[in-house]
Structure 1
């Protein structure tokens, strides 16, 4: 799955991390989380099923998936879908306030932590993204460690995927709720560099802004590639 994600990212976006880039051309925290949880949970399901099959366990797929793990997956997917809905609405209402990236104003991984609209886009850390990223990363790492330990202890006798503590599921839900709430307010002003409106209008990158005849026709990249 990691190889497939890297290949698709390289083909579609020109980077092995391209699977984390959204329709604005920017690195997306919600897409990162969905990919991480999908890879971890689906790999664990495939690994346990394969181990039971190799060990000759009758009905190798007869193991259970805890409701708390399903809840974690549901929270992650619901958060991703809700994020897409909010961003799509803002893209339609005020594309001139939305920061975008392309081959010239290239995306960077730090965008998963940064404000993505208004005059402070890519200049300020979004604290709701910051907390959500670290909470997710720590929870995923802890779950991988716990799952590995349980598989080592039980082997083919494992008849259920590792469970989540309900308190952690609740905390994850609160973290995602805060992340989504932070996306709703409309930030004022236009971002430096490429905006979504300029990208859709086919604006061209320049070293410095002159006096374009019809805005937006030119922009100065925030994170430029070296122009030829």
Structure 2
């Protein structure tokens, strides 16, 4: 979250996206399947997984740049802030899709009867469901806060802490929810700050907890997939432990529950 100082493009207008960006997107869309196939065919087991997930990530960056003019656009919410729920959903999507695609193409290379016969364990479906619940539940939980107004004293306090004029905060906020004026104002720090005008200058511990649990779980699962690929075990994606599922459920539950409180002494608008 940023102030309205020079360099933040506050109130600025996005330049028209060059047609060349769409051309690069079309080239990437065409070239990616070929590159993924070549990666899985020629790179040794393990490295083919790294290459596949890297290309999937690159594709998402190009998609964001082509459509919104910002490479990390898929992480930015409608309030022009980096969203933690979007981040964790995107991380799991890349990790799971990268693993599934790598195993599928390995089965093709081995001449298996069913290339798409890679089994997906129930625990992984549950983990993806938890991530999706946070992604879809966040706007539902915050929706009612758009019809309320923050306490003026808290707006003033936030103004002083962020070195941002109160007029700018009031001009761009959505009810009690803090918002940036433009996509280019989004920062990675947004993922760890409060959602409301009253607590946006403070670190949200529930968000920090969910970020680390997501990062640890996704990294650990990526390594499990890599080891399975190196063992040439292509029949099923690895399972997630019940303990890890419990940690993910608790962290995501705390994340959503923390959004329900009133942190701005709000009143009906």
TM-score where L is the length of structure 1: 0.77
Alignment map for 1:129-168 (pairs within 5 Å): 129-153=207-231, 155=232, 157-168=233-244
Do the aligned residues in 2 keep the contact of 1:118 with 1:189 (CA within 8 Å)? Answer: no
CA distance in structure 2 between the partners assigned to 1:37 and 1:67 by the alignment: 15
Aligned-pair CA distance for 1:104: 8.8
Q: After TM superposition, give the deviation of residue 105 of structure 1 in Å.
A: 8.0
2:109 is aligned, of 54, 61, 73, to 54
The number of equivalent residue pairs is 188
Per-residue displacement from partner, 1:78-98 (whole Å, max 9, x unpaired)? 111111211233224443421
Work out the CA distance in 2 between the residues paired with 1:158 and 1:69. Answer: 16
Alignment-derived partner of residue 114 in structure 1 = 193
Equivalents in 1 of 2:178, 2:230: separation in Å? 47
Offset of residue 61 of structure 1? 1.7
Structure 1 residue ranges (4+ consecutive) displaced by more than 3 angstroms after TM superposition:
none
Richer in helix (by share): 2
Match for residue 73 of structure 1?
128
Q: Cα distance 1:189–1:96, how it changes in 2: closer, same or farther (>3 A)?
A: farther
Displacement of 1:118: 2.5
Separation (CA, whole Å) in 1 of partners of 2:189 and 2:220: 23
Instruction: Name which of 31, 36, 43 aligns with 2:86.
Output: 31
Structure 2 gaps of 5+ residues are: 1-55, 150-173
2:75–2:86 contact (8 Å) kept in structure 1:
yes
Pair 1:103 & 2:182 matched: yes
Structure 1 residues 31 and 150, CA, compared in 2 at 3 Å: closer, same or farther? same
Verify: 1:169 aligned to 2:245, yes or no.
yes
- 1:85 corresponds in structure 2 to 140
Structure 1 regions of 5+ residues with no counterpart? 191-196, 198-228
Superposed, 1:3-18 pairs within 5 Å as 3-18=58-73
Question: Structure 1 residues 12, 90: CA separation in 2 closer, same or farther (over 3 Å shift)?
Answer: farther
- Name the TM-score, length of structure 2 as normaliser: 0.66
Query: What SS does the aligned partner of 2:185 have?
Result: coil
SS of 1:30's equivalent in the other structure is: helix
